[in-house]
Amino acid sequence: MRVTHLSLTDFRNYAAVEVPFEPGPNLIVGRNGQGKTNLVEALGFLSTLSSHRVSTTSAMIRAGQDAGIIRARLEYNGRDLLTEVQINRSGLNRAQVNRSVIKTRDLPRYFSSVLFAPEDLALVRGDPSGRRRFLDQLLVLRTPRLAGVLADYDRVLRQRNTLLKSARASGLRTTQLGTLEIWDDRLVELGSEIIDERAELVRQLGEPLRAAYEAVAGEDHGPQLLSSLSIMGADEENSASVEPRAVVEPVETIVGSGVSTGSTAGAGSTTDLFRAALAGLRRKELDRGMTLVGPHRDDLVFMLNQLPAKGYASHGESWSFALALKLASAELLRRDSASGDPVLILDDVFAELDLSRRRRLAAAVTGFQQVLITAAVLEDVPEDLTAHTIHINAGAVVDG
Ligand SMILES: Nc1ncnc2c1ncn2[C@@H]1O[C@H](COP(=O)(O)OP(=O)(O)O)[C@@H](O)[C@H]1O
Ligand SMILES: [Mg+2]
Rounded Cα distance between 220 and 16, Å, is 46
> Residue 225's domain spans which residues?
129-310
Domain end, chosen from 310, 328, 352, is at: 310
Q: Which of 19, 36, 38 to mutate to test the pocket of ligand 1 (most atoms within 8 A of CB)?
A: 38
Q: Which atom of ligand 1 is nearest to the CA of 38?
A: 17
State the amino acid at position 317 in one-letter form.
E
- Do 172 and 305 reside in the same domain of the chain? yes
Task: Encode 29-79 in three state secondary structure.
Answer: ECCCCCCHHHHHHHHHHHHHCCCCCCCCHHHHECCCCCEEEEEEEEEECCE
**What mean pLDDT do residues 363-377 have?**
96
The CATH number linked to 34 is: 3.40.50.300
DSSP state of 145: T
- Do 254 and 390 reside in the same domain of the chain? no
Q: Which of 11, 19, 34 to mutate to test the pocket of ligand 1 (most atoms within 8 A of CB)?
A: 34
Domain end, chosen from 294, 310, 326, is at: 310
The answer to the question of residue 119 being in a domain is no
- Do 137 and 107 reside in the same domain of the chain? no
The CATH number linked to 166 is: 1.20.1050.90
The answer to the question of residue 394 being in a domain is yes
- Do 18 and 140 reside in the same domain of the chain? no
- Do 107 and 156 reside in the same domain of the chain? no
Instruction: Compute how many other C-beta atoms are within 10 angstroms of the C-beta atom of residue 204.
Output: 18
Q: For residue 194, report the distance from its CA to the centre of ligand 2, in Å.
A: 33
Domain end, chosen from 310, 325, 358, is at: 310
Residues with CB under 5 A from ligand 2 (ion): 36-37, 348
The 10s digit of each residue's pLDDT in 232-273 is 998 766 554 444 433 433 333 344 333 443 434 445 799 999
Residue 220 has pLDDT above 50, yes or no: yes
- Do 86 and 187 reside in the same domain of the chain? no
* Contact call for residues 369 and 341 (beta carbons, < 8 A): yes
The answer to the question of residue 374 being in a domain is yes
- Do 52 and 79 reside in the same domain of the chain? yes
pLDDT, position 239: 52
- Do 262 and 345 reside in the same domain of the chain? no
- Do 103 and 195 reside in the same domain of the chain? no
Return the exposure string of 261-277: e unless at least 16 CB atoms fall within 10 Å of the residue's CB, then b.
eebeeeeebbbbbbbeb
- Do 164 and 295 reside in the same domain of the chain? yes
Domains in the chain, number: 2
- Do 217 and 253 reside in the same domain of the chain? yes
Q: For residue 295, report the distance from its CA to the centre of ligand 1, in Å.
A: 35
Q: Which atom of ligand 1 is nearest to the CA of 347?
A: 23
Cβ neighbors of 354 (< 8 A, separation 6 or more) are none
The answer to the question of residue 42 being in a domain is yes
Rounded Cα distance between 44 and 396, Å, is 19
The 10s digit of each residue's pLDDT in 304-339 is 999 999 999 999 999 999 999 999 999 999 998 888
Rounded Cα distance between 252 and 256, Å, is 6
Instruction: Kindly state the percentage of the chain with pLDDT values over 70.
Output: 92
Rounded Cα distance between 121 and 55, Å, is 17
Q: Which of 9, 12, 390 to mutate to test the pocket of ligand 1 (most atoms within 8 A of CB)?
A: 12
The answer to the question of residue 285 being in a domain is yes
pLDDT, position 323: 96
The answer to the question of residue 24 being in a domain is yes
Count Cα atoms within 13 angstroms, Cβ side, for 104: 14
As a 3-state breakdown, the chain gives helix, strand, coil percent values, each rounded to 5, of: 50, 20, 25
Q: For residue 61, report the distance from its CA to the centre of ligand 1, in Å.
A: 11
The mean pLDDT value of the chain amounts to 91
The 10s digit of each residue's pLDDT in 160-217 is 999 999 888 777 777 788 899 999 999 999 999 999 999 999 999 999 999 999 999 9
The 10s digit of each residue's pLDDT in 119-170 is 999 999 999 999 999 999 999 999 989 999 999 999 999 999 999 998 887 7
- Do 357 and 258 reside in the same domain of the chain? no
The answer to the question of residue 324 being in a domain is no
Protein residues with CB under 6 Å of any ligand 1 atom: 12-13, 30, 32-38, 59, 61-63
The answer to the question of residue 269 being in a domain is yes
pLDDT, position 253: 38
